[in-house]
A = this chain, B = another copy of it.
Amino acid sequence: MIKITFLPDKKNIKVNKGTTILEALEKVGMNINTPCGGKGICGKCKVLVKEGIAAVAPTEEELLLEEEIKKGFRLACQTKLFKDTVIEIPSEIRLDFKRVFSSNLKGDIDRIKNNFSLGTNLKKVFLDLKKPSLDDQRSDWERIKDELSSKKIENISNLKTSLEILKKIPVLIREANFKITVILYNNEIINVEKGDTTKSSYGIAFDVGTTTVAGYLVDLNSGEELSAVAKANPQIIYGDDVISRIGFAQKQKENLEILQRKIVNILNEIIKENTQKAGVDTNNIHKISIAGNTCMHHLLLGLNPSNIAPSPYIPVIKESLSLKVKDIPGLSLSPTAHIYILPNISAFVGADIVAGILAICMWENEKISLFIDLGTNGEIVLGSKRKMWTCSTAAGPAFEGARISSGMRAAEGAIDKVKIDNESITYRVIKDSKVRGICGSGLIDLIAELIKLGLIDKSGKLIGREECDPKLNKEIRKRIINEQKGNKFLLVKGKETENGKSIYITQRDIREVQLAKAAIFAGIKILLKEVNILPKNIQKILLAGAFGNFIDKKSAIRIGLIPYLPLEKIESVGNAAGRGAEITLLSEKTREICKKISKDIKYIELSSRADFQEEFVEAMFFKS
């Protein structure tokens, strides 16, 4: 065994010789960005070996600069360790960000109360049971049942329970001196607690994304959200996107279990953090709602995702599921607590979209709106209460910083806003710290600004210094660096960045963004065609998702990511998926709406559309 120390956290772990840095990181519970899934292709998992030498692998020679190798930089996925080593993990590749995407929707609880009535289908009833005697030999179960019946609680004809509860009852009721609280869900007793706990009734809603997992703790009595926690999906070490994770799951039988365990562990962490923050006893969480994309849904439930990835893209199940905690191994909640899994729409339009449609009320809106969830994939919904259409486009992880030379996630040190005019360049850095890179919203701002200045032409070409408008400020012009493989533009000088390296946008970065935005826009175009309307007929654009929430609307229009519409008609709606999941916890009637949404929506398979390629190519251009 050798000892590996990670800086700056000073975390230690002992591993076998030959373990890769990535494996050691995983063992110690630190997550880093590995866009290619640890295959040695992307060169993003750069770490600095401070003490102890690590041999250089051929892939590293290829992907790292000679200078970097000399300094001690290595790729975490490629470097095997054979002696005690101290390694620094640069903050830009770390995945420990915590932006909590709390919802922007206002007055939701009131709306739920008004429209649906707060209906959790959960009742906690305090019972002061009569003690048994030779004249009253009723079983423990009968005693509880009769007492409930005497209290005229509805729905207890055919009262059910599970063996777990029956196993618990005899000792619990005697320890509680026959004073207990029963938790009724529909016609089932899902738990019993000592004494009177009727006031403590909680639920938790999850949005399980490819990149981020968020959990919301709610009070089932008041409908209030008590706490929200978001964490990086730790499956990320097996790949940035769903396709690489499915690939990993298929490699060997245990891998599906590994992925399931990863996601369950992060749910457990989120539960723990939420309950600690809110001062709630985990045992009092009686209901759970989970919305995720179809792949995350399968991985969480341990369902084989193999047929999702290849054409014709077949999930195991799309319909909602009613489960119990015990059905998901390792989940740290009361085993008989109830789980509602929201329904999916297709292999690439998941329950998160259904939850989103529920939350933004598209299903009851007379007017046509366009709902775009921009995450690792881009899911698009167009329509109104009469009918909705949806499709999914592989926006790719460009907007999340992957495959962008100085790209990073929207974490501390990321540039998330950029403004350039002839006078100056200004930008905003998340958490106001030293610059570490640029995230999706910053990138879109930057490209939009360069288009405005004429530095990027219609075709997406970053023009040479000599081709610039002569009126352009000299300082700006100087930032264009002509290179043979394509020009690049200097955004931040090395002296202002954390690691001393300058932040550029390269020609290749622009191409990545072009591909991503073209995919989204072509998807929108196909849906418009289906619905047979023009962009101007769209009454509202609603942007959701990790990235959709922080994007600058004007920039998004300028680069052609979304159709041109007056800015007041474009709205960021926060984490609509999480909020939708919450709503299904608080008002169970909305589950019927989810069912209807997922069943009635028309899914358009873009890969089978001859006109998609055409739209895609056309959408590659910028309108300058």
* A contacts, CB < 8 Å to B: 132-142, 162-163, 166-167, 169-171, 174, 301-304, 306-307, 311-319, 321, 323, 327, 346-347, 603, 605, 607-608
Contact = CB atoms under 8 A, between A and B. Distances in A.
Given A140-B317, A163-B323, A314-B140, A135 B301 contact: no
Contacts of A304: 167, 170-171
Contacts of A316: 139-141, 166, 169-170
A306 B132 contact: no
**Interface on chain A toward B: helix, strand, loop, or mixed SS?**
loop
A419 to B, nearest CB: 44
B170 A306 contact: yes
B163 A311 contact: no
Given A139-B314, A316-B140, A319-B141, A605 B134 contact: yes
A323 B607 CA distance: 45
Given A134-B312, A167-B304, 18 more contacts: A133-B312, A137-B347, A138-B314, A139-B314, A139-B315, A140-B307, A140-B315, A141-B316, A141-B319, A142-B317, A162-B327, A163-B301, A163-B302, A166-B317, A167-B302, A169-B316, A170-B306, A170-B307
Q: Which of A170, A327, A608 has the most CB of B within 10 A?
A: A170
B303 A137 contact: no
A317 B168 CA distance: 12
Given A139-B318, A141-B316, A317-B141, A303 B134 contact: no
Nearest to A327: B163
Query: Which of A141, A302, A313, A346 is the most central at the interface, judged by chain B CB atoms within 10 Å of its CB?
Result: A141
A316 B174 CA distance: 12
For the complex of A and B, list the 9 residue pairs with the smallest distance between their C-beta atoms, beginning with the closest: A141-B317, A134-B608, A170-B304, A134-B312, A139-B315, A139-B318, A132-B314, A132-B312, A140-B316
A162 to B, nearest CB: 8
Contact of A135 (B314, B315, B608): B608
A611 to B, nearest CB: 15
Contacts of A321: 163
Contact of A137 (B163, B327, B603): B603
A113 to B, nearest CB: 29
Contacts of A169: 316
A119 to B, nearest CB: 20
Contacts of A170: 303-304, 306-307, 314, 316
Nearest to A311: B134
A605 B137 contact: yes
A438 to B, nearest CB: 37
A315 B132 CA distance: 11
6 contacts: A137-B605, A139-B314, A139-B315, A140-B317, A167-B302, A167-B304
A311 B314 CA distance: 60
Contact of A317 (B139, B302, B346, B605): B139
A188 to B, nearest CB: 12
Nearest to A301: B163
Nearest to A321: B163
A482 to B, nearest CB: 45
Contacts of A603: 137
A245 to B, nearest CB: 16
A347 to B, nearest CB: 7
Contacts of A174: 307
Contacts of A136: 312
